[in-house]
Structure 1
Amino acid sequence: MKNIINSLFTTKVDAIGISVFRMFYSVVLFLELLQLYTFRSIIYDKEPYQYTGEIDVSFIFYFWFPVVVFLFLGLFTRYITILNYIFGVIIFSSAIKFEYHVFYAYVGINFLLIFMPISRVLSLDSLLKKLKYSTLYKPFLEDRKVLKINYVIPVFVAIGLVYFDSIFHKLSSKMWMDGLGVWLPSSLPMVTWNDTSVLLNQKGLMLFLGYLVLAFETVFIFLFWFKKFRVPFFILGVFFHVGILIAYPIPWFALTVIAVYLLLVPVKYWKFLASKIKCKNPIYTFYYDLECPLCNKVVIVIRHFDIFNTVECLPVQGNYKNNEALLNYDEETLLINIHGVTSSGKVVSGFWAYVSLLKAMRYTYLLGLLISLPLISSLGQKIYDYIAGNRVTERCTAENCTIPIYTPPPSENDDFLIKGWNKVLLTTVFWKCVILFLSFGQLLMIWFSPTIQNNFPKVEKINKFVFVLYEYSRDVYTDFFGITHHAVFIFDDHFKTYNKIFRIEAIDVYGNKIDFPLLDKNGMPSKSYENGSVWANAAFRVNSSNFKLSIYSEEIIKYLKYFEVNSKYRIVSYKVYYKEVYAKEKWEYNFLKNQINTPWRKAGEIFKYVESYEFKWEDDFVKKLN
């Protein structure tokens, strides 16, 4: 174990897996932000569309969206990751009533991204370095390899610590210890957004999956360090979170964890996949002037973006005579202007050589098609003529080209300031400190878990001391590093006294009935509104296991106002229906079906006035609450 841990800080591997993680994670984060922005008036406004409160978060999103796009592209990543982290702390900590578990994962991951070499490959940053430091006869080759710890640290923080803390909550839950931790949440209509009764009715399968989750979460933090466990853990982890994606209305949570699991995929698999998507025989040949610094820069750009290997870049010097399509061209003509030859033998030059290039690279085909349109191509031709104008009268060479030459930066192994002190050593020391710091924070959380507090009598003597550390550090760990408690789907906390769900029916000015997009007629969350943070709020805060009619009446108004502003209907009133649901710690056949088939009863009506709402609740409903 010691040797394995040490190898993480001394052994380097290709960075391709980290870049795949960066891009996948960026897409998921963007989708999460898109949902938060869409429902920002409910989540952040004190009065939706009327009073935003102390801060209008909209402008933060306007900056954050391009930041995440830059993160995906790997452009200016050092500065972008800092901004991404700052925006995340502000936005996620502001959505107090709408927070759900993935918010903490985002904060923790965003913090780690600041210090990870996420743009070493498959990024615009790596392209900019090649362009800056490459010279005419010596291309700059950035070190593609990174320390293994960069693959491991996000998995440890975003999955390992989370599972380890979660176990100390599950061990005190009869539901989980009886193997029903997967079955029960998936059998409650307000929790699941798909009817999976065909699986839920298989008792043996449900018990197996419940105990498998317990075992998996228990051993994960101890075994994922070992290489031989990573592929099985990856398969199991993705399997579980695809299940979460299907069963529960928290898609961005499921996809975020899957993104982190991608770091467990061995590098050789990514390289194998990359080799399989590349074309064995290029379909387009691009000829350039070997002695032209500008042309060499262009070739660097082409090779960087030619991920399918469909383009072959060849110097005119010594190569053009080998292509029959160019036999009628003299060398000077080919050197003065860019030429390309398609797989059919068609020769294109100048601006049209680049059009054919884009079409040949497959994923940029539509872009090539777009710039070939009449008006755009005329503009493109003028731009090309302007850039290449100097070459018409005189070739750009090393002697007359004005492109500056830069000295390459020192490598990670080069000493700086102190002998023996380099970037590799600094990275090693830093990550060790981060692991210790975050582990300490999670252990503080675990100490105050029910399993520790209820089963170890002597902890009370230590609690006074530990509680001081806990109180002073809890908010810092949670808000800035995403370290918190992970009591997810615990029977006593979430379901024990959760006995009513509500469906709303809107009535427009013409008397038409419109289903309100929270819970549908089955009592399940709607896919248009109630997922992610909105589901966490509507299912567990507006309604909850400790239901209060006054809180429901106050909080549901935000949803009514949002619906009215974004709806084509002129709403005059709402009818509210309820049905009784119940949770139990014993498996039952067709449990979800029975909950779905429970009839709805009228709870009351909500009348809409110009600036207010009037709630009229049914007497029988109020009596049941009392």
Structure 2
Amino acid sequence: MNRWLARLLDTRVPALPLALFRIGFSVVMIIEIEQMYRFRRLLFDPMPYVIESTIPSGPLLLIWLAAVLFLLAGYRTRLAAVVHYVMAVIVLGFGALPHGEDWQGDSLILTLSLLLLFMPSDRVLSVERLMERRRRAREKVKDPGPVDVRLIHTVFLYLTIGLMYLDSAFFKLSSPMYLSGLGVWAPSTLPINAYHNVSWLMSQEWLVRPLGYALLAFESLFLFLYPVRRLRLPLLAVGALFHLGVMFVFPIPVISLLVLALYLGLVPAGAYERFTRLWRARAVSLTVYYDRLCPLCRQTVAVLDALDLRGAVAWKPLQDHAAEEPQLAAIPEEELLHDIYAVDRQGRIHKGVDTYAAVLRTSGWLAPLGWLLGVWPVHPVAQRIYGAVAEKRAREGGCRDGVCSLARPGAPAAEPAPHRGPGRLARPAAGVLLTAWLLSFVLIVPAGPLLRTYVTGDGALANRLENTAEYYKSRVYPWTGWTSHGVFMDEHFVNYRVQTMLVFEREGREPLRLPTIRPDGYTGSYNSGRLWELWTFETVKPELPLDQVERNMSRFVTYWAVRNGIPLEEGRILILQRPMDVTLDRFRRDRLADNLSQPWKEVGAITGSPGQLKVSFTGEPGNQSGLYGPRS
């Protein structure tokens, strides 16, 4: 173990995959926080707009968003990672957000947020890297070139997804639905899960059963196959296709996006290098001549050169190379030193602001800024600013060009020796985290059904193991996200006999459907991501306590009514339900279409005004006596 750990700490790999993971994860978190902020009254308030949350959810989420934006940019990255982790623990771990206890996306967010505390994910593609290049240019210290990181950071990402897949596979190996090859088909044919109509695909039994078995094999084997170098890209490609499919079919896009962001950190750096060759420039399109005795010029060159991802711009000190350029021969040296000049492939000369506009256009991805810099009124304003800076910029070596230094830099700084070995605390900390993670996995597995199904049976030993696992999860989950991963299992759907819809009815007006369901019967805008979990599994799922059903229905109704100015006292909310076939282990062609074609029946109503709503059921089959449990 110690030798293996030493190898992980001593082996260096390119830093690009970690940086792409940081960027991808940050983008997904922006999407997730945006949804939480937009629906914060529904998610945080005990009763939206009536009984407010005891925590300031709006400011809390804005602080979290600010930390994620810093993380995305790679600026003050370590501090941003700490703030992000603290926010995740408060909101998702310790329940400032009082919903989504089984929301699998939160488990991934917590685990990846913990790892980001220790990952050097800002070594490339970050503001801090640009600032480091700028500092080195100012002090005339040579840039070290490509940056690398320790292999162990990639291993932690690999363990995150590998152990999650393996635990999920353990659940599936005890599931009649998955063992019959219908684990992909069955959930997609239930309207409560359907985000898009894929009946044309799910009606092909010859296809869906192999897909179900392939999913089971993929999750079972990923942890063991990914270390085989030749299999990494094919495995990640298969996983990406699977998660893109999940994102299209089911209303849980954030979970798939989190996994795809994690995959960015697992793609070998060599694959990225081969990909970048496809769009790198084949030849230099623009040559820029800059004053190497000007610290500001060197810093600007260092930053713009880093942003030129196509490699289409060549930067040359004019003192050494201007004489080689025929197009500049007629320009006096004083003018060359006063303004920055560039020559493009067609021989055209660019000067001052126009040089920077040409650089931005040539870089490709910054071309819109280059075009903007060349149009009125931006161009004259930029020219005025550039002229003021050019007149006052500091130079080393006196006033040869008539521009005197305002500040003379000291002696060039010595280049620091690179520190290649792990720090004193790196090995013990990595060893503790790895050991705790693997032991936690062994302790948590008994909370799933695998041991009970194949080893212990339903006995006292099984109960003790499960209770121990549940107790352990409750202690470590808020800090680490380590938990069980029973996603889309039989018990989630086997008793889900009806789909529920709420419709506001008032005399003389068109009925208004609450947007938990679209007019075509698929999940609506109030029914995606963690809102889907809140509605589908904490509000209308069969066998929930009746008072929980009433309370959460009232919350959805109150939020919708207040936000949209709906006068509830002028009508009533109808509770409509329609039956669903939820057979999970027997294939039935066109089942989604059949489920969607079932008629709606009124089973209850919600009346009153926000804060004083009353939920009542009719007493017919499919109501509280046949669908929901007793009051808790």
TM-score, L = length of structure 2 = 0.89
| Counterpart check, 1:250 vs 2:257 | no
| Counterpart check, 1:562 vs 2:569 | no
- The whole-number CA distance in structure 1 between the counterparts of 2:271 and 2:3 is 24
Aligned residues: 615
2:619/2:625 contact within 8 Å kept: no
Give the C-alpha shift of residue 547 in structure 1.
4.1
| Counterpart check, 1:401 vs 2:408 | yes
Match of 2:418 in 1: 411
1:284/1:310 contact within 8 Å kept: yes
Match of 1:115 in 2: 118
- The whole-number CA distance in structure 1 between the counterparts of 2:469 and 2:614 is 45
Match of 1:613 in 2: 613
The letter of the residue matching 1:605 is: A
Match of 1:416 in 2: none
Deviates further, 462-471 or 164-173 = 462-471
- The whole-number CA distance in structure 1 between the counterparts of 2:538 and 2:404 is 69
- The whole-number CA distance in structure 2 between the counterparts of 1:510 and 1:118 is 60
Q: Secondary structure at the match of 2:230?
A: helix
Residue ranges of structure 1 left out of the alignment (5+ in a row) = 414-421
Match of 1:167 in 2: 169
**For each residue in 1:151-194, what CA deviation from the matched residue of structure 2 results, as whole angstroms up to 9, or x when unmatched?**
2211212x111122222222222112222211111111101212
> Of the candidates 203, 206, 209, which is equivalent to residue 205 of structure 2?
203
RMSD: 3.0
Deviates further, 24-33 or 533-542 = 24-33
Q: Secondary structure at the match of 2:620?
A: helix
1:234/1:261 contact within 8 Å kept: yes
1:506/1:575 contact within 8 Å kept: yes
Matches within 5 A, 1:344-423: 344-391=346-393, 401-402=408-409, 406=413, 408-413=415-420, 422-423=421-422
The letter of the residue matching 2:500 is: F
Match of 1:264 in 2: 266
1:2–1:197: structure 2 CA closer, same or farther, 3 Å change rule?
A: farther
| Counterpart check, 1:182 vs 2:184 | yes
Deviates further, 336-345 or 223-232 = 336-345
1:49–1:325: structure 2 CA closer, same or farther, 3 Å change rule?
A: farther
Deviates further, 578-587 or 324-333 = 324-333
| Counterpart check, 1:82 vs 2:79 | no
Deviates further, 360-369 or 60-69 = 360-369
Matches within 5 A, 1:25-424: 25-93=25-93, 94-99=96-101, 100-134=103-137, 137-141=140-144, 144-157=147-160, 159-391=161-393, 401-402=408-409, 406=413, 408-413=415-420, 422-423=421-422
Match of 2:528 in 1: 531
**For each residue in 1:269-293, what CA deviation from the matched residue of structure 2 results, as whole angstroms up to 9, or x when unmatched?**
1011122221122333222012222
Q: Secondary structure at the match of 1:277?
A: coil
1:503–1:458: structure 2 CA closer, same or farther, 3 Å change rule?
A: closer
- The whole-number CA distance in structure 1 between the counterparts of 2:459 and 2:529 is 38
Q: Secondary structure at the match of 2:320?
A: coil
1:64/1:87 contact within 8 Å kept: yes
- The whole-number CA distance in structure 2 between the counterparts of 1:371 and 1:46 is 51
**For each residue in 1:328-351, what CA deviation from the matched residue of structure 2 results, as whole angstroms up to 9, or x when unmatched?**
201221012222334444433233
The letter of the residue matching 2:154 is: Y
Give the C-alpha shift of residue 463 in structure 1.
7.0
Deviates further, 454-463 or 378-387 = 454-463
> Of the candidates 537, 545, 549, which is equivalent to residue 542 of structure 2?
545
Q: Secondary structure at the match of 1:264?
A: coil
2:139/2:412 contact within 8 Å kept: no
Match of 1:586 in 2: 586
| Counterpart check, 1:19 vs 2:19 | yes
% identical equivalent positions: 26
1:296–1:448: structure 2 CA closer, same or farther, 3 Å change rule?
A: same
Deviates further, 394-403 or 374-383 = 394-403
- The whole-number CA distance in structure 1 between the counterparts of 2:466 and 2:613 is 45
2:9/2:422 contact within 8 Å kept: no
- The whole-number CA distance in structure 2 between the counterparts of 1:73 and 1:623 is 52
Match of 1:496 in 2: 494
Give the C-alpha shift of residue 525 in structure 1.
0.8
- The whole-number CA distance in structure 2 between the counterparts of 1:496 and 1:466 is 25
1:108/1:481 contact within 8 Å kept: yes
1:328–1:218: structure 2 CA closer, same or farther, 3 Å change rule?
A: same
Give the C-alpha shift of residue 248 in structure 1.
0.7
TM-score, L = length of structure 1 = 0.90
Residue ranges of structure 2 left out of the alignment (5+ in a row) = 627-632
Deviates further, 603-612 or 390-399 = 390-399
1:291/1:398 contact within 8 Å kept: no
- The whole-number CA distance in structure 1 between the counterparts of 2:526 and 2:379 is 44
2:574/2:604 contact within 8 Å kept: yes
The letter of the residue matching 2:478 is: D
1:151–1:397: structure 2 CA closer, same or farther, 3 Å change rule?
A: farther
